[in-house]
Amino acid sequence: MERHILTLNAGSSSLKFALFSAEALVCLAVGQIDGIGAEPHLVIRSGEGQRLVDEPLAGSSAPNDPVEAMVLVLDRLSKTFVGANIVAVGHRIVHGGTDYGDPIVLTAEIEARLTKLNPLAPLHQPHNLAGVGAARRAFPDVPQVACFDTAFHRAHPFVNDVFALPRALYDAGIRRYGFHGLSYEYVAGRLAEIAPHHARGRVVICHLGSGASMCALRDGQSVASTMGFSALDGLPMGTRPGQIDPGVLLYLMQEKGMSAAEISALLYRQSGLKGLSGVSSDMRVLEASDNPHARQAIDYFVFRTRREIGGMAAALEGLDAIVFSGGIGENSAMIREYVLEAMEWLGLELDLDRNRAGAGVISSERSRVRVFVIPTNEELMIARHTKAIVQL
């Protein structure tokens, strides 16, 4: 009987999932529920991209949280793939802290320790772990494997991980961790397959999406990331501000009387593209809008992205390749063009026709720095780790 691996990536308002054959890791289905708690919508596609389910979820069928979404997904998958034999479930766990890097089979003790990291990733960690609980109830005898988004950055040099705070705080775990590691790991592997020479050099991967960050790699290893202690730092995102002067937060507390909960809501849910534009957190909506605030939000996103590319190049002491990935990085030719225009000083020249056609390489033949567009696949990365750790 064929065996299957299920991968889950549970967030505050979405649940991404995929079903793989355990032996060959062939993707049989991939999908997600967006808008959990508001206007949820379920989409399931086959591994070849054929749409199998496209269903608005309303009334009694609408999930209100990731656990309910998980139950619904399992029901739809069981009806679409009758007889699916789940032998392992792999989970994206955003934060591993200082204790966890390598993928690991979850136990009650490990989950309790990971729960203590919830304040460091409140949009993700609690929901990641809720997904683990729901999967365990559905498959009580199946190993649940945690794959950590911080793991790829564990070998950073000290200077790229530390804050200029008293050393005791660093020893207590207050340091830069970096995130989106599963995405970076997959993209770095794909780059090594399609352009091994460049993959051995100095590379900046731009993971641009609702969550956005950059990673600087030397010889395929992460040496710096724009994200830090939490998933708030670095680039502006859909609803998160990215880099911000800590003095602003002190001012909001002391002069505006805002509580920690109010500031948390501001930083995680009300800022970024949504806050700047007053229109939407979705870059596609902003690109189509004629609201001047939407354009200002785009301009800020582009400015910070270009600035961080410069910073990553400095950390690498040069640059051989840039890779765009993530929802915005893969799909928005306009944002790629805005980010890369007038960057000849960095040895980079964009080919406008290639970029607008969505080519895999969008730099010109004259460009010293090669620019790639590589779709990420966190689900496959989770499945690979799960297969290895469970020894299927």
3-state secondary structure 124-137: CHHHHHHHHHHHHH
Can you give the pLDDT at residue 23? 94
Question: Which residue in 308, 339, 329 sits closest to 372, CA to CA?
Answer: 329
Can you give the pLDDT at residue 72? 86
Look at the chain and report how many structural domains it folds into. Answer: 2
pTM here? 0.95
CATH number at residue 17: 3.30.420.40
Residue 329 domain-assigned?
yes
Residues 14 and 128 in one domain: yes
In this structure, the dihedral spanned by the alpha carbons of residues 101, 104, 110 and 111, taken in order and rounded to 10 degrees, is 100
Can you give the pLDDT at residue 138? 87
Q: Which residues contact 167 (CB under 8 A, 6 or more apart)?
A: none
Say which residue the tokens 């949280």 belong to.
65
**Which positions of the chain have pLDDT values less than 50?**
none
Residue 283 domain-assigned?
yes
* Strand locations in 226-356 (E): 321-325
Residues 214 and 360 in one domain: yes
> Structural domain of residue 273, as residue ranges?
196-373
Can you give the pLDDT at residue 213? 97
Radius of gyration of the chain (CA): 21
Residues 60 and 205 in one domain: no
> Number of C-alpha atoms within 13 angstroms, CB side, residue 188?
24
Q: What is the largest CA-CA distance in the chain?
A: 65
Q: What is the DSSP string of 34-92?
A: ESTTSS-EEEEEETTS-EEEEEE--GGG--SSHHHHHHHHHHHHHHHSTT--EEEEEEE
Residue 292 domain-assigned?
yes
Residues 223 and 346 in one domain: yes
Residues 242 and 327 in one domain: yes
Strands 27-34 and 15-21: antiparallel
Phi then psi for residue 37, to 5 deg, are 90, -5
Cβ atoms of residues 64 and 347 within 8 Å: no
Q: Give residue-wise pLDDT tens across range 349-367.
A: 999 999 999 999 999 999 9
Residue 173 domain-assigned?
no
C-alpha 301/C-alpha 220 separation (Å) is 26
Strands 86-93 and 15-21: unpaired
C-alpha 10/C-alpha 305 separation (Å) is 27
Question: Which residue in 373, 225, 243 sits closest to 312, CA to CA?
Answer: 225
Which amino acid belongs to residue 386?
T
Residue 176 domain-assigned?
no
Report residue 178 as tokens: 């970096």
Residues 130 and 227 in one domain: no
For 32, 33, 164, 208, 323, the CA distances from 73, given in Å and listed in that order, are: 8, 8, 45, 27, 32
Can you give the pLDDT at residue 290? 97
Could you say which of 148, 163, 185 is where a domain stops?
148
C-alpha 372/C-alpha 330 separation (Å) is 10
Strands 104-105 and 86-93: unpaired
Residue 163 domain-assigned?
no
Which amino acid belongs to residue 101?
G
Q: Which residues contact 206 (CB under 8 A, 6 or more apart)?
A: 212, 214, 305, 309, 322, 323, 324, 325, 326, 329, 339
Which amino acid belongs to residue 165?
L
Which amino acid belongs to residue 300?
Y
Residues 142 and 241 in one domain: no
Residues 361 and 256 in one domain: yes
Can you give the pLDDT at residue 60? 73
List the catalytic residue out of 149, 161, 233, 320.
149
Could you say which of 120, 148, 176 is where a domain stops?
148
- Determine the straight-line distance between the first and last CA of the chain, rounded to whole angstroms: 14
Total count of residues recorded for the chain: 392
Cβ atoms of residues 171 and 158 within 8 Å: no
Phi then psi for residue 335, to 5 deg, are -65, -40
Report residue 347 as tokens: 């040895």
C-alpha 160/C-alpha 231 separation (Å) is 16
Active site (annotated) includes residue 149: yes
Residues 140 and 207 in one domain: no
Residues 326 and 243 in one domain: yes
Strands 15-21 and 4-10: antiparallel
Residue 164 domain-assigned?
no
Can you give the pLDDT at residue 65? 79
C-alpha 143/C-alpha 295 separation (Å) is 47
Residue 179 domain-assigned?
no
C-alpha 36/C-alpha 11 separation (Å) is 9
Residues 249 and 114 in one domain: no
Residues 96 and 210 in one domain: no
